[in-house]
């Protein structure tokens, strides 16, 4: 089992400045899953509860000179502490910029190693970051879990496949920061958020307890997938009436999710996505949030990076 | 009068000012408040242990629209914390923070909604309660013909009260005419005395009226409630708070909180630093003295 690659400059800045801070907010531990062509950062794919999150990079988006081999069809997966990886990467970057001269001098190598830690007789696996300066080399070893067995790897691969299904209707959220500050304030009022998405481009979120009902409605959002014209008779009614009418017509879906999960998903604005879409999976299986990235300086989607998460739906009766 | 017309429909162009004003009387997590509506405005009243009462006056001049359609003065109870958290949701940065407040809804709720573009909006419905009893009347009146009163910079008052935390549970406030001064004294685990003298601290002690020495003790926790949640805007605006001692040692603490939008606040401030009264919410606290008070009289 071998993995060795050089992080590109773009890869370093993507991970250090954008993705690792965002992924760290999602959860301390994630699985890093490496295949011949892709690197994935996966949260909560193997255990049922919590937000499932998938960040996928084509190898060229992060690495060059990428070499991987294993007996599981050149696939390797292990659990890693995101904040440790972020810290190690940050300090490697500062060393790179401090000592680096020329294009080749400050390359950052990342590889899988087994080492004997101090006071131990058992060799342990590490993800090792190596920076070669002019006169010195700095190596940082980030401890990782034992690589996943063939069975677990298959499980992860299956879960990843299942996590890729798209909702029929997706609406684009106009302003992530604003939605985040709104949800952060709403958090104080209740725990359960009901989210309705209509084919007309309506997103309606609401918290309802015995003492208070508090909600927000965003209309005329950009719709991707199934869409419909908003009926004229709905124009002058309350947000709640509009939502329930759309549900009755079969033009909308609604699910209940944890406010905390919803707020957490919004932390992905740290990864600086260019746009975000919300959608409800068929049969109301989950609330899906898809973040898109553009090729810098264009409005074209960067297909080498993808990020999405799936919020578990809560049964209103059980809460 | 149309019986279907709501008691009140009003609009406020800056919800943050209302959040600030109400936060000033939020001294603990769970507080029940009573709201009283009238043609003059909205009054919110909170009470604690029959010893402390606070009132927030939001006069009708603060509202861009105020349509009062009730007879008598409707009163209802609600949770102050929930009300503040709810209002706070309306003041998301980058969003117009104008709101409409309506009472009652079909089920006697308090209805709130944002007033802005048709394409996005925030709304809330708060359950209200029938207030349990007529709140105990604090019946503040001066003991003598000339009121015993002083005005101190709010920031200095808050700092003094915060500093008095360590000595103990009971704070003695003494006013004396010669030399004109106010003394806060706490003794318990240790003792600490804070003096505001009119001649030495004219920038802190702005006004002082006292013709005889008076001294009363107040529970620290109630005194602290009067300044613990003063909004930052009060300190930034360098405002003063007025304290008056009335019959039986009842202490009245008055603060002024700006309800104006920050962007339009400055044109209202004249050279003396006072804002037009229409953009100010008045906040009053009444603190009863401790039973075994040592009023020298």
- Check if B124 contacts A (Cβ < 8 Å): yes
Q: Name residues 5-24 of chain B within 8 A of A (Cβ).
A: none
Give the distance, in angstroms, between the CA of residue A293 and the centroid of all CA atoms in the same chain.
12
A149 and A246 co-located in one domain: no
pLDDT at B272: 43
- Check if B79 contacts A (Cβ < 8 Å): yes
For residue B132, tell me if it sits in a domain.
no
The pLDDT of residue A233 is above 60? yes
Rounded CA separation A208/A197 (Å): 17
CB contact under 8 A, A212 and B120: no
Instruction: Please give the full DSSP string across A167-194, using - where no structure is assigned.
Output: PSEEEEES-HHHHHHHHHHHTTT-SEEE
Rounded CA separation A57/B1 (Å): 68
Q: Compute the average pLDDT of residues A227-235.
A: 91
Give the number of other Cβ atoms within 10 Å of residue A63's Cβ: 21
- Chain A: give the shortest CA distance to residue B88, in Å: 7
* Nearest partner of B40 among B22, B61, B56, judged by Cα: B61
Q: Which of A113, A141, A162 is the last residue of a domain?
A: A162
Which residue stretches of chain B are H helix? 15-23, 80-89, 154-163, 220-225, 232-236, 262-268
For residue B278, tell me if it sits in a domain.
yes
The pLDDT of residue B260 is above 70? yes
3-class SS shares of chain A: helix, strand, coil, % to 5: 30, 40, 30
B156 and B257 co-located in one domain: yes
Give the number of other Cβ atoms within 10 Å of residue A6's Cβ: 18
B153 and B276 co-located in one domain: yes
Handedness of CA B229, B232, B233, B239 (dihedral sign): positive
CB contact under 8 A, B94 and A178: yes
A267 and A300 co-located in one domain: yes
- Chain B: give the shortest CA distance to residue A169, in Å: 19
pLDDT tens by residue, B226-241: 999 998 888 888 889 9
- Check if B92 contacts A (Cβ < 8 Å): yes
Q: Can you give the CATH number for the domain in which B101 is found?
A: 3.10.150.10
Between A263 and B268, residue with greater pLDDT: A263
Structure tokens at B4: 């279907």
Between B136 and B252, residue with greater pLDDT: B252
B250 and B200 co-located in one domain: yes
CB contact under 8 A, A211 and B89: no
CB contact under 8 A, B82 and A189: yes
Q: Compute the average pLDDT of residues A253-278.
A: 95
| B198 contact partners, CB below 8 Å, separation of at least 6 | B179, B180, B181, B205, B208
pLDDT tens by residue, A5-48: 999 989 999 999 999 999 999 999 999 999 999 999 999 998 86
Question: Predicted confidence band at B271 (pLDDT cuts at 50, 70, 90)?
Answer: very low
B161 and B49 co-located in one domain: no
- Check if B89 contacts A (Cβ < 8 Å): yes
Rounded CA separation A127/A118 (Å): 17
Distances (CA, A) of B37 to A68, A142, B8, B58, B104: 73, 63, 8, 10, 11
The strand ranges marked E within A86-220 are 108-115, 124-132, 137-143, 169-173, 192-198, 202-208, 212-218
* Nearest partner of B250 among B130, B161, B140, B109, judged by Cα: B140
CA end-to-end distance (rounded Å), chain B: 54
Rounded CA separation A219/A205 (Å): 12
- Check if B126 contacts A (Cβ < 8 Å): yes
Q: Which residues pair with A80 in a beta bridge?
A: A30, A144
Q: Name residues 138-167 of chain B within 8 A of A (Cβ).
A: none
What value of ipTM does the predicted structure carry? 0.84
Question: Predicted confidence band at A229 (pLDDT cuts at 50, 70, 90)?
Answer: very high
Give the number of other Cβ atoms within 10 Å of residue A31's Cβ: 23
Mean pLDDT across chain A: 91
Q: Which of A128, A162, A196 is the last residue of a domain?
A: A162
pLDDT at B264: 42
pLDDT tens by residue, B91-136: 877 666 789 999 999 999 999 999 876 678 899 999 999 987 655 6
B183 and B276 co-located in one domain: yes
CB contact under 8 A, A182 and B89: yes
Q: Can you give the CATH number for the domain in which B242 is found?
A: 3.70.10.10
A306 and A217 co-located in one domain: yes
Rounded CA separation A34/A193 (Å): 35
Rounded CA separation B14/B36 (Å): 21
The pLDDT of residue A269 is above 60? yes
A267 and A153 co-located in one domain: no
B119 and B182 co-located in one domain: no
- Chain B: give the shortest CA distance to residue A243, in Å: 13
pLDDT at A155: 93
DSSP B107: T
pLDDT at B266: 45
| Letter string b/e over residues A151-171, b meaning 16 or more CB atoms within 10 A of that residue's CB | eebeebbebbeebeeebebbb
A125 and A232 co-located in one domain: no
* Nearest partner of A287 among A268, A317, A305, A314, judged by Cα: A314
A140 and A195 co-located in one domain: no
**Edge-to-edge strand list for the sheet holding A275-280:** A76-81, A29-34, A38-43, A52-58, A305-312, A286-292, A275-280, A169-173, A223-225
* B240-245 and B214-219 beta bridge pairing: unpaired
Give the distance, in angstroms, between the CA of residue A304 and the centroid of all CA atoms in the same chain.
14
- Check if B120 contacts A (Cβ < 8 Å): yes
Q: Compute the average pLDDT of residues A114-134.
A: 87
The pLDDT of residue A94 is above 90? no
Nearest Cβ partner for B119 among A181, A215, A219 = A219
Nearest C-alpha in B relative to A190: B82
Local structure of B272: helix, strand or coil: coil
pLDDT tens by residue, A150-166: 999 999 999 999 888 89
Handedness of CA B117, B122, B125, B131 (dihedral sign): negative
Structure tokens at A162: 């299942």
A300 and A174 co-located in one domain: yes
Q: Which of B96, B126, B156 is the last residue of a domain?
A: B126
- Chain B: give the shortest CA distance to residue A214, in Å: 4
For residue B295, tell me if it sits in a domain.
no
For residue B214, tell me if it sits in a domain.
yes
CB contact under 8 A, B89 and A214: yes
A178 and A98 co-located in one domain: no
pLDDT at A157: 94
For residue B1, tell me if it sits in a domain.
no
Q: Which of A111, A142, A162 is the last residue of a domain?
A: A162
On chain A, the residues whose CB falls within 8 A of the CB of B86 are 189, 212, 214
Rounded CA separation A213/B58 (Å): 24
Asked if residue B216 lies in contact with residue B223, where contact means CB atoms within 8 angstroms, the answer is no
A27 and A156 co-located in one domain: yes
Overall number of domains in chain A: 2
> Among A184, A213, A235, A237, which would you mutate to test the B interface (most chain B Cβ atoms within 10 Å of its Cβ)?
A213
B175 and B254 co-located in one domain: yes
Nearest C-alpha in A relative to B91: A182
Q: Compute the average pLDDT of residues A115-142.
A: 86
Q: Compute the average pLDDT of residues B266-278.
A: 48
Rounded CA separation B237/B125 (Å): 33
B171 and B118 co-located in one domain: no
The pLDDT of residue A214 is above 90? yes
Mean pLDDT across chain B: 86
Overall number of domains in chain B: 2
CB contact under 8 A, B127 and A211: yes
CB contact under 8 A, A211 and B120: no
- Chain B: give the shortest CA distance to residue A319, in Å: 20
Instruction: Please give the full DSSP string across B18-58, using - where no structure is assigned.
Output: HHHHHHTT--SSS-EEEEEEETTEEEEEEEETTTEEEEEEE
pLDDT at A93: 82
Q: Domain span at residue B202?
A: 148-287
A63 and A93 co-located in one domain: yes
Phi, psi for B257 (deg, rounded to 5): -120, 130
CB contact under 8 A, A212 and B89: no
* Nearest partner of B101 among B7, B23, B22, judged by Cα: B7
A239 and A115 co-located in one domain: no
Q: Compute the average pLDDT of residues A288-312.
A: 94
- Chain A: give the shortest CA distance to residue B91, in Å: 8
CB contact under 8 A, A212 and B94: no
Asked if residue B72 lies in contact with residue B92, where contact means CB atoms within 8 angstroms, the answer is no
Q: Can you give the CATH number for the domain in which A195 is found?
A: 3.70.10.10
CB contact under 8 A, B120 and A214: no
A149 and A39 co-located in one domain: yes
Q: In percent, how much of chain A has pLDDT > 90?
A: 77
**Edge-to-edge strand list for the sheet holding A2-7:** A63-69, A2-7, A108-115, A124-132, A137-143
Q: Compute the average pLDDT of residues B61-71.
A: 93
Question: Predicted confidence band at B171 (pLDDT cuts at 50, 70, 90)?
Answer: very high
Q: Domain span at residue A17?
A: 2-162
B251 and B161 co-located in one domain: yes
pLDDT at B268: 45
B268 and B166 co-located in one domain: yes
Ranking A228-237, A290-299, B166-175, B263-272 by mean pLDDT, the lowest is: B263-272
Asked if residue B62 lies in contact with residue B10, where contact means CB atoms within 8 angstroms, the answer is no
For residue B136, tell me if it sits in a domain.
no
CB contact under 8 A, B119 and A218: yes
Match 């020298």 to its residue by tokens. B296
């Amino acid at each position: 089992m071998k993995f060795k690659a050089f992080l590109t400059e773009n890869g370093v800045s993507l991970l250090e400045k954008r993705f690792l801070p965002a992924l760290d907010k999602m959860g301390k531990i994630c699985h890093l899953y490496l295949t011949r062509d892709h690197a994935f950062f996966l949260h909560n794919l193997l255990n049922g509860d919590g937000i499932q999150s998938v960040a996928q990079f084509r190898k060229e988006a992060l690495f060059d000179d990428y070499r991987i081999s294993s007996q599981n069809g050149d696939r390797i997966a292990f659990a890693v502490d995101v904040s440790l990886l972020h810290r190690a990467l940050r300090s490697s970057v500062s060393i790179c910029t401090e000592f680096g001269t020329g294009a080749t001098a400050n390359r950052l190598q990342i590889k899988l190693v087994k080492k004997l830690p101090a006071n131990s007789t058992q060799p342990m696996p590490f993800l090792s970051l190596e920076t070669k300066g002019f006169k010195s080399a700095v190596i940082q070893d980030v401890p990782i879990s034992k690589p996943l067995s063939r069975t677990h790897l298959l499980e992860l691969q299956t879960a990843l496949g299942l996590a890729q299904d798209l909702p029929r209707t997706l609406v684009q959220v106009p302003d992530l920061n604003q939605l985040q500050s709104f949800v952060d304030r709403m958090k104080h009022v209740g725990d359960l958020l009901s989210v309705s998405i209509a084919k007309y481009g309506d997103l309606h979120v609401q918290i309802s307890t015995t003492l208070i009902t508090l909600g927000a409605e965003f209309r005329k959002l950009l719709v991707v997938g199934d869409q419909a014209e908003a009926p004229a008779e709905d124009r002058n009614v309350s947000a709640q009436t509009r939502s329930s009418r759309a549900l009755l017509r079969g033009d909308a879906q609604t699910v209940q999710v944890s406010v905390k999960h919803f707020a957490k998903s919004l932390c992905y604005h740290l990864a600086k996505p260019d746009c975000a879409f919300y959608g409800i999976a068929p049969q109301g299986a989950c609330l899906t949030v898809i973040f898109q990235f553009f090729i810098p300086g264009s409005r074209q989607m960067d297909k080498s990076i993808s990020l999405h998460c799936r919020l578990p739906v809560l049964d209103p009766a059980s809460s | 009068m149309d019986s279907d017309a709501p008691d009140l429909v009003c609009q406020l162009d800056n919800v943050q000012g209302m959040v600030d004003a109400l936060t000033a009387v939020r001294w603990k997590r769970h507080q029940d408040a009573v709201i009283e509506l009238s043609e003059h405005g909205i009054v919110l009243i909170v009470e604690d242990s029959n010893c402390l009462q606070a009132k927030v006056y939001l006069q009708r001049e603060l509202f861009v629209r105020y349509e009062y359609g009730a007879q008598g003065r409707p009163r209802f109870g609600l949770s102050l914390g929930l009300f503040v958290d709810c209002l706070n949701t309306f003041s998301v940065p980058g969003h117009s923070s104008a709101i409409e407040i309506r009472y009652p809804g079909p089920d006697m709720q308090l209805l709130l909604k944002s007033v802005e573009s048709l394409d996005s909006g925030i709304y809330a419905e708060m359950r209200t309660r029938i207030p349990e009893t007529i709140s105990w009347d604090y019946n503040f009146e001066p003991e003598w013909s000339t009121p015993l009163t002083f005005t101190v910079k709010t920031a200095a008052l808050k700092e003094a009260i915060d500093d008095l935390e360590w000595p103990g549970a009971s704070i003695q406030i003494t006013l004396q005419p010669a030399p004109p001064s106010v003394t806060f004294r706490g003794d318990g685990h240790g003792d600490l005395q804070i003096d505001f003298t009119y001649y030495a601290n004219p920038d802190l002690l702005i006004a002082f009226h006292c013709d005889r020495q008076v001294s009363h003790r107040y529970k620290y926790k109630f005194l602290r409630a009067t300044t613990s949640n003063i909004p930052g805007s009060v300190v930034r605006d360098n405002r003063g708070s007025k304290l008056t001692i009335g019959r039986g040692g009842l202490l009245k603490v008055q603060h002024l909180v700006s309800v104006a939008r920050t962007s339009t606040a400055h044109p209202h401030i004249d050279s003396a630093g006072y804002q037009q009264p229409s953009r100010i919410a008045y906040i009053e606290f009444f603190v009863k003295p401790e039973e075994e008070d040592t009023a020298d009289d």
